[in-house]
């Protein structure tokens, strides 16, 4: 069985009153225009029949709860990362490998108590953390469920595993609650973000979000090889350099930290609608991946996921 870390998660240091206040403020973010994510859709999500781009409503929709052993090694440890796959997304990536969850919205609606129960079950399975996948549109629901989980004995760190398109207003409500942030930086080029993910201002918004995440938790810290706090950055290498790897690595070093823990990911494969775009209709080559790694090393980065 995996050993649960002795590190005390930040959320246990907050008073019930402060945690409740954060939840109330997050609930109000769903008022029109919705400010839970940067899209600012002109809907009031507090009314369950009102849906924006992501189509999420009042309750969290969860596809699965499970220990995951394919995440970054500091998250997996021995017991695995306790992943909660949330359905829907504020991006619409044409190459999404989890499109059934993010775009077809596979999953079921859960009450706050049910979401909390899922966290506790993952902890009981000796997972080292609770890893919320695609949480950007569900910050109010997570904050509403957390007090129930704490009352039930939750004591492992929380992981915010997002696509990088995150609201600063929402992230600030998570300060002192999430110990580990794991965002993607998908693109450095606005035109590609619009074309492949139907999103505007992706890069400046992701840059601001990562700066806020790093301000809150700093560089990755581990105990016995298991993450307890800090920022993990993911960057998926796309064919033909479409992800803008050189610029992304420059940003990480110059505006975050040369000590950043980075996963330069090689697992791109054409999924979902990618075959409609000739430039995305193949896997990356070994040479393309090696070039991406060299671009990262050239900036001075040295902490890479293995």
Q: What confidence score (pLDDT) does residue 5 get? A: 52
Which of these, 190, 179, 173, 188, lies nearest to 255 by C-alpha position?
A: 188
Helix (H, G, I), strand (E, B) or coil at 243: coil
Q: How far apart are CA 258 and CA 261, in angstroms?
A: 9
Give domain status of residue 51, yes or no: no
Q: What confidence score (pLDDT) does residue 107 get? A: 86
Give domain status of residue 95, yes or no: yes
Q: How far apart are CA 76 and CA 53, in angstroms?
A: 32
Confidence of residue 104 (pLDDT cuts 50, 70, 90): low
Q: Is pLDDT above 80 for 283? A: yes
DSSP designation for 219: B
Full domain range(s) for residue 170 = 10-41+58-304
Give domain status of residue 46, yes or no: no
The model's pTM is: 0.96
DSSP designation for 184: B
Total domain count, the chain: 1
Helices (H), ranges, the chain: 16-28, 73-76, 99-102, 112-124, 139-151, 168-173, 190-197, 202-217, 245-251, 286-298
Q: Is pLDDT above 50 for 194? A: yes
Q: What is the pLDDT of residues 230-258, one digit of tens each?
A: 999 999 999 999 999 999 999 999 999 99
Domain with 110 in it: what CATH number? 3.20.20.70
Q: What is the pLDDT of residues 57-103, one digit of tens each?
A: 999 999 999 999 999 999 999 999 999 999 999 999 999 988 888 87
Q: What is the pLDDT of residues 111-155, one digit of tens each?
A: 999 999 999 999 999 999 999 999 999 999 999 999 999 999 999
| Average pLDDT value over all residues in the chain | 96
Give domain status of residue 249, yes or no: yes
Confidence of residue 6 (pLDDT cuts 50, 70, 90): low
Q: What confidence score (pLDDT) does residue 247 get? A: 98
Give domain status of residue 2, yes or no: no
Q: How far apart are CA 217 and CA 154, in angstroms?
A: 20
Give domain status of residue 48, yes or no: no
């Amino acid at each position: 069985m995996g050993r649960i870390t002795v590190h005390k998660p930040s959320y246990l240091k907050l008073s019930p009153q402060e945690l409740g206040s954060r939840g109330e403020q997050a609930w109000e973010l769903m008022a029109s225009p919705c400010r839970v994510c940067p899209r600012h859709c002109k809907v009031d999500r507090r009314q369950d029949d009102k849906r924006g781009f992501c189509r999420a409503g009042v309750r969290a929709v969860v596809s699965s709860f499970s220990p995951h052993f394919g995440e970054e090694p500091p998250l997996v440890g021995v017991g695995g990362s306790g992943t909660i796959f949330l359905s829907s997304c504020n991006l619409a990536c044409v190459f999404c490998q989890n499109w059934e969850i993010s775009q077809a919205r596979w999953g079921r609606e859960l009450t706050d108590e049910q979401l909390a129960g899922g966290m506790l079950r993952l902890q009981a399975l000796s997972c080292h953390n609770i890893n919320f996948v695609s949480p950007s549109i569900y910050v109010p629901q997570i904050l509403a469920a957390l007090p129930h989980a704490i009352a039930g004995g939750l004591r492992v760190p929380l992981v915010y595993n997002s696509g990088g398109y995150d609201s600063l207003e929402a992230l600030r409500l998570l300060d002192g609650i999430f110990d580990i942030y794991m965002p993607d930086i998908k693109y450095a080029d606005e035109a590609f973000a619009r074309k492949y993910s139907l999103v505007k201002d992706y890069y400046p918004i992701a840059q601001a979000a990562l700066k806020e995440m790093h301000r809150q938790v700093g560089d990755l810290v581990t105990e016995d090889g298991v993450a307890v706090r800090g920022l993990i950055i993911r960057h998926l290498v796309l064919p033909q350099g479409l992800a803008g790897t050189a610029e992304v690595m420059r940003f990480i070093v110059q505006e975050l930290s040369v000590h950043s823990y980075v996963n330069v990911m090689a697992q791109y494969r054409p999924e979902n609608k990618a075959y409609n775009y000739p430039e995305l209709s193949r896997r990356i080559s070994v040479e393309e991946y090696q070039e991406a790694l060299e671009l990262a090393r050239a900036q001075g980065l040295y902490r890479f996921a293995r």
